[in-house]
Amino acid sequence: MSRGNLAPRPVVEAFLAHCQRTGLDPIARQIYAIERGGKWGIQMSIDGARLVAERSREYEGQTPVQWTADGVTWVDVWLDENHPPAAARVGVYRKSFREPLYAVATFKAYSAGGPMWTKMPALMLGKCAEALALRKAFPQDLSGLYTSEEMDQASAPSDRATVPAAVQSAPFTDEDVQRWVDQAASAGSVDDLGAIWAEAQKAGALSADVDGVMLGQLLRNLKAAFESAPPAEDVQDAEVVEDEPVTEWATVQPGEGGQQA
């Protein structure tokens, strides 16, 4: 929930599925649903990410967080109270890895400019780097889950007119895309697919990746399958009505229909 608002049922169902998949406890604030800018999402705490890694029995610790001002010299402690670090990095050890897997988070990319980022920029940036490294090292367990420190910038005020369209945050989430895929899989007609197409198109998600295929192309493939299917047999006294198409099934090119952040 967020400020007394109840999460919609699809969000609750996705939240419970993530809790079951990861084994994280919402009571302990290891995972939670949150509303940002009118969009609901599911986030985990950095402690939750650490717990998932530990339970995998593949986790073998990590390197100390390091910070840099120039990308060349890295320090273990950030003492400059007048300037935030430009980047932070963390390496995660896993049994099957020969070397630690490093991830780097830059202040420019993640700083939300709020009180916490102003007061403790090194700590916040270090959490972002650690979350990135843990997710890279354990993608099966942490894929699609982000920490609040990583997502702070998503709700930070900014002049979007100055941000290139290609890097603006898309008004949809991974959960939205999965919901459309699930709806498409259970669709009973071309009209059902058309309704999904219209909703995804409005959100700018037709170019979202679904296992290497754009969502728009996946819907077109399912539409073609419906149209090529043989008519049902043993149907008597049925009136055939030709419906008007609900939307235009334009070919989706890479980069069209919005890009997912």
With tokens 């020969």, the residue in question is 98
Q: What is the DSSP letter of 125?
A: H
- 143 and 14, same domain (yes or no): yes
Q: Report how far residue 6's alpha carbon sits from residue 42's, in angstroms, rounded to the nearest whole number.
A: 14
Q: At what angle do helices 46-55 and 121-137 cross, to 10 degrees?
A: 30
Q: How many domains does the chain have?
A: 2
Query: 31 near 133, Cβ under 8 Å?
Result: no
Look at residue 212 in the predicted model and tell me its pLDDT. Answer: 61
118-174 pLDDT, tens per residue?
A: 999 999 999 999 999 999 999 988 888 888 888 877 665 544 333 333 333 446 787
Q: Report how far residue 108's alpha carbon sits from residue 122's, in angstroms, rounded to the nearest whole number.
A: 13
Residue type for 97, please?
F
The residue out of 103, 124, 158 marking a domain boundary is 158
- Which range (68-82, 97-111, 224-238) has the least confidence? 224-238
- 176 and 139, same domain (yes or no): no
How far does the chain reach from its first CA to its final CA, in angstroms? 23
- 98 and 212, same domain (yes or no): no
Q: What percent of the chain has pLDDT over 70?
A: 77
Residue type for 225, please?
A
Query: 33 near 15, Cβ under 8 Å?
Result: yes
The residue out of 103, 123, 158 marking a domain boundary is 158
- 203 and 89, same domain (yes or no): no
192-233 pLDDT, tens per residue?
A: 888 998 888 888 788 777 766 678 888 888 888 877 766 555
pTM, two decimal places: 0.56
Tokens of 61: 């610790």
Question: What integer best gives the mean pLDDT of the chain?
Answer: 80
Buried b (16+ CB within 10 A) or exposed e, 190-204: bebbbebbebbbebb
Look at residue 150 in the predicted model and tell me its pLDDT. Answer: 86
- 152 or 116, which is more confident: 116
Residue type for 67, please?
W
Q: How far is CA 162 from CA 7, 102, 159, in A?
A: 32, 31, 6
Q: Is residue 2 part of a domain?
A: no
**83 lies in which domain range?**
9-158
Q: Is residue 234 part of a domain?
A: no
Tell me the helix, strand and coil percentages in the chain, rounded to 5: 40, 15, 45
- 182 and 146, same domain (yes or no): no
